[in-house]
């Protein structure tokens, strides 16, 4: 009888000690979209000292025609420390297709969204396409391509692809990990994925 009593008491005490984990809430698409614009601003200000930008009007995870997101993300996870798996998983979700870059971002300076057809017109002239580009956009550091930004569940870690071409055979692409502290996004790490 004493064993049964002790067993019941022990069971009650153990049940009281066991806590069920609180469900992890994931940020809404609206929260991520709002934070994405802030990340783009921090990223562009950190990587470039330019007074204006030319950004492709649709997102991409690498150079057009060479995108291999699966192997690239494997490379990123192996070469960046501290990347949350939920950030990587969110990258898959947010970059499953190309999306339009928002024309109403407040990034602290001017920017132009360039379509593939507009880029084709610049570079299909009889003149040097880059000369024409810089005549039209003299303060731009080149043509920038961005992926959508992925986040962890607490919206304090972000992963984004950024690629820039600035001349014939001059360009590079990076995956950038940003961390949020004291309300500000800062670049934590960069891993180059291509260069020309």
Taking CA atoms, 12 is separated from 2, 3, 147, in Å, by 15, 14, 52
Give which of 21, 63, 96 is closest to 196, Cα–Cα.
63
Place 182 in a pLDDT band, splitting at 50, 70 and 90.
very high
126/44 Cα distance (integer angstroms): 32
- Report the candidate in 85, 32, 25, 94 with the shortest Cα–Cα distance to residue 59: 94
Q: How far apart are CA 54 and CA 134, in angstroms?
A: 11
What is 9-23 written as a DSSP string? HHHHHHHHH--PPPP
Q: Where are the beta strands (DSSP E) in the chain?
A: 52-56, 110-114, 143-146, 150-151, 157-167, 170-181, 184-195
- Res. 12: pLDDT tops 80: no
pTM across the whole model: 0.82
**Range 114-128 average pLDDT:** 89
* Banded model confidence at residue 67, pLDDT cuts 50, 70, 90: low
Residue 21 has pLDDT above 50, yes or no: no
Structure tokens at 173: 């692409």
> How big is the CA angle at 109 (ends 100 and 92), to the nearest 5 degrees?
30
């Amino acid at each position: 009888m004493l064993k049964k009593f002790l067993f019941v008491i022990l069971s009650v005490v153990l049940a009281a000690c066991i806590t069920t984990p609180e469900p992890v809430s994931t940020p809404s698409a609206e929260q991520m979209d709002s934070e994405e614009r802030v990340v783009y601003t921090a990223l562009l200000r950190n990587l470039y000292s330019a007074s204006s930008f030319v950004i492709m009007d649709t997102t991409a995870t690498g150079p057009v025609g060479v995108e291999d997101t699966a192997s690239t993300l494997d490379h990123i996870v192996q070469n960046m420390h501290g990347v949350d798996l939920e950030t990587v998983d969110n990258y898959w979700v947010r970059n499953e297709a190309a999306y339009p870059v928002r024309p109403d971002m407040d990034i602290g300076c001017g920017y132009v969204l360039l379509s593939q057809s507009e880029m084709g017109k610049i570079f299909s002239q009889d003149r040097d396409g880059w000369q024409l580009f810089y005549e039209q956009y003299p303060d731009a550091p080149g043509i920038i391509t961005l992926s959508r930004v992925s986040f962890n569940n607490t919206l304090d870690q972000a992963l984004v692809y950024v690629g820039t071409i600035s001349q014939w055979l001059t360009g590079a692409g990076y995956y950038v990990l940003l961390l949020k502290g004291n309300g500000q996004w800062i670049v934590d790490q960069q891993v180059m994925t291509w260069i020309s």
